[in-house]
Each structure stands twice: as structure tokens, then as C-alpha cells.
Amino acid sequence: MLIGLIGKANVGKSTFFNAATGLAAETGNYPFTTVKPNIGIGYVRVECVCRSFGIQDNPIHSICVEGNRFIPLKLIDIAGLVPGAHMGKGLGNKFLDEARQADALIHIVDASGSTDNDGRPVQAGTADPGTDIAFVEHEFDLWLSSIVSRDWNKAARTFESQGMKLEQALHNAFQVLLYLRFK
């Protein structure tokens, strides 16, 4: 499983990545310390079934240590998003495409409020963490919308001729457009 670490620029994605993987990706208190994604393995610890069932196990894709199962997860530390990323600003389309490859995303947020929208350091408490969350979601929404709208007229005619309901047509169009865009 591939987990993408996303967020605006300079909020601690690489710091989290280093803590989760034990690696030493470059970190810095400035935007775009990460341009090329960092990839590593982190582990999720859960109670192993050997404790519950009182058995000796021999896991294949994880390890059990004293009744704790450590499950490996591949992490990708993606460079930060800036306003206009969906239009390519700050290499935004490249970063959004890297996020698209992930099976799940972890959104890293600057809870201290010490980075502005462009990832520049500001006095702690002057930026709103809620704005960080809304900003990244908005960039993803605009990016996905631009993918769907590129060929919508052609797709709409095709689906209309097949008598599909709008929901099914939209679902199919989105799948086709994503496939064509990223194959």
C-alpha cells in the first residue's frame, strides 16, 4: 500500500516522513525543500492475533515482536502545494499526479499557524490551520474538475447516445478521463 503525505508547502511533511520511516530526507524551514518525492517504508503497529488466539504465528508480509504486529507501508513524501497548483503553479500538476498514485493520503497540517499560503514562515498563530485544510481540498477539487471538464462535451454525447443516467455517465467519464490522462 502506498500512502501519500500531502499538504501545503513547508508544513512538516518531510519531518513526519523522517519520523515514520527512520530516513533522513532533507528538511528546512522554507518552501519547496522537497521537489522530488521521498519514498520510504514506515510501519503500523497493531496487536497481533497470536495474543488473542494464544498461538505461535509466522507472518509473511509483516513481523510480530512480543505480540505486536508491524505492518509495512510505503510512504511518499510529496512536495507542498501552493495556491494555483491545479493550474501548474509551483509544479502543482506534477505534485498532484504524485498524490494520485497513492492508495491513501495523509494530510499534514501546520497546526501552529506558522506558515502562510505560499509556505513562507510567519509568526506562530497568525495563519489558520482550517484554511490549510480547505486550501488543499480546494486545489484537489479544482484539479479533478479540470480533468473531467477537458473532454466533457465528447463524453456527454457518447453517454447520452447510450441512454445513461447522469450519475452513471459522470462516473464513467471520470474513470475514462483519469485513465487517458495518467496511462
pLDDT tens by residue, 110-163: 888 888 877 788 898 888 888 888 888 888 788 777 777 776 777 677 777 777
| CATH classification of the domain holding 22 | 3.40.50.300
Asked if residue 178 belongs to a domain, the reply is no
Give the whole-number percent of the chain exceeding pLDDT 70: 80
Asked if residue 176 belongs to a domain, the reply is no
Q: Which three cell numbers stand for residue 47?
A: 496487536
Q: Which three cell numbers stand for residue 33?
A: 525543500
Asked if residue 101 belongs to a domain, the reply is yes
Asked if residue 97 belongs to a domain, the reply is yes
Asked if residue 173 belongs to a domain, the reply is no
Write the CA distances from 23 to 77, 81, 127, 166, integer angstroms. 12, 23, 29, 47
Burial class (CB in 10 A: 0-12, 13-18, 19+), 153: exposed
Asked if residue 16 belongs to a domain, the reply is yes
The band of 89, judged by pLDDT with boundaries at 50, 70 and 90, is low
Distance CA 112, CA 82 (A): 18
The number of folded domains in the chain is 1
The band of 74, judged by pLDDT with boundaries at 50, 70 and 90, is very high
Range of 32's domain? 2-126
